[in-house]
Amino acid sequence: MIVVIQRVSEASVKIDGRVKAEIGTGLMILLGIEEADSEEDITWLTKKITNLRIFPDENEVMNKSLFDINGEILLISQFTLHASTKKGNRPSYIKAAKPDIAIPMYEKMIVSLESELGKSIGTGEFGADMKVSLVNDGPVTIIMDSKNKV
C-alpha cells in the first residue's frame, strides 16, 4: 500500500456536486492498494499514520500526533498511486489492485483507522469521480509505502 499523507487545516470531497465528507484539522490521505497488499499492511500503516508526530507543539516543533490534537482523517482511495511511467507517456496501472480486492481492503483500512482513533473518519467513494479540496498546512506531505517498512 502506498499512502500520500497531507497535514491539513481543512479538507473535503465532493461527489456529483455534493459534499460526501469534510474534516477540519487532521490528515487527508490518498490510499493506493496493490494486489500483494494484506491486512498486515493495513495494521502497519494504521499505527504509523495515527502516531505520526507531524503537528506542531507549543514551540512550533512537529511533535504531536493525531491523538494529541484530536485530529480527523479524510481517506480517499486512489489507484493512480501505483502508476508505472517507465515506458511511453501513458501510465500503466497493472500493479493497482482490481476492485474485487481493492474495495474490501479499502473498507478494512477505514475500519482499522476508525478503531485506532476511536471515532469515524471521512471517506470518499471507491471508483467515483471525486473532487477533493484541501488546505495543506505547512505544507506537510509525507509518502509511505508499506513494502518499505524495514
Catalytic residues: 80
Burial class (CB in 10 A: 0-12, 13-18, 19+), 74: buried
Whole-number Å distance between alpha carbons of 52 and 132: 23
Residue 13, SS3 per DSSP: strand
